[in-house]
Amino acid sequence: MPITKCSNSISQSIFIDCDNIPKEGLEPYGLVFNKDEVTLTYDALNPRKITAITLAAGATPYQIYNPTKVPFENSGSEMNADSAFPTFNKTVNFLIPNIGADFSRDVIEPMVKGKEGYIIVLPTKNQVADGGFIVIGAEKGAVATAGTRNLTDAATNGGFAITLSEIGASFETVTLSGATYAAAKSTYDALEALAPTPS
């Protein structure tokens, strides 16, 4: 039986859609899920598109609100050329502005120590069906790779700056998608409505 060789030929031209020129930047809010508490449903034709996120019984998403000067600054992806088969490393940077022992117990310590990882959904500035909502952690789970609290830093107001990274993902971009932007946003909004109100 002949060996099936991997095909890495491109199959689309590289161009700018003049009606939807991509915009840099993320909205100042997002959702984070414990990876082991959700089931992801993928598009049948493209497994980089998530069409539904289903929560396990008793599970909930949690909101991230980061109205900083540049929300989620320097978050994104990069090629990992050191692996035998090239993959992608993705990062999400955000500020946990809260302080106190309860928040340390409930959020920072689990996020830093968690091994199963997290899935983060971030709305972009692009109101498009595929690309309006970026998902990080869908394949490998995003885990904490850096975290710092500088109590005298005016730039963070003494908050805890954290980086969650998904290392070795096969896909450069994974999105929460729909037939239209409105459909994708409806899915996001329904999940956001399940998040508890911050206390």
**142 vs 11: CA distance, rounded Å:** 29
102 domain-assigned: yes
**30 vs 145: CA distance, rounded Å:** 19
Please name the amino acid found at residue 197. T
**What is the Cα Rg of the chain in Å?**
18
18 domain-assigned: no
Q: Structural domain of residue 188, as residue ranges?
A: 29-192
108 domain-assigned: yes
Report DSSP state, residue 138: T
Q: What is the pLDDT of residue 199?
A: 65
**167 vs 159: CA distance, rounded Å:** 25
73 domain-assigned: yes
111 domain-assigned: yes
141 domain-assigned: yes
Segment 139-151 shows an average pLDDT of: 96
CB 95 within 8 A of CB 66: yes
Please name which of 115, 102, 99, 94 lies closest in space to residue 32, comparing C-alpha atoms.
94
Provide, rounded to the nearest whole percent, the portion of the chain with pLDDT above 90: 76
CB 118 within 8 A of CB 107: no
The label of the residue with tokens 């091994």 reads: 115
Number of structural domains found in the chain: 1
50 domain-assigned: yes
Using CB atoms within 10 Å of the CB of residue 74, give its burial: 0 to 12 exposed, 13 to 18 middle, 19+ buried: exposed
Tokens of 38: 């959700």
Segment 154-177 shows an average pLDDT of: 95
- What tens digit of pLDDT does each residue of 45-103 get? 999 999 999 999 999 999 999 988 899 999 999 998 876 788 999 999 999 999 899 99
CA 168 to chain centre: 15
198 domain-assigned: no
Q: What is the pLDDT of residue 13?
A: 78
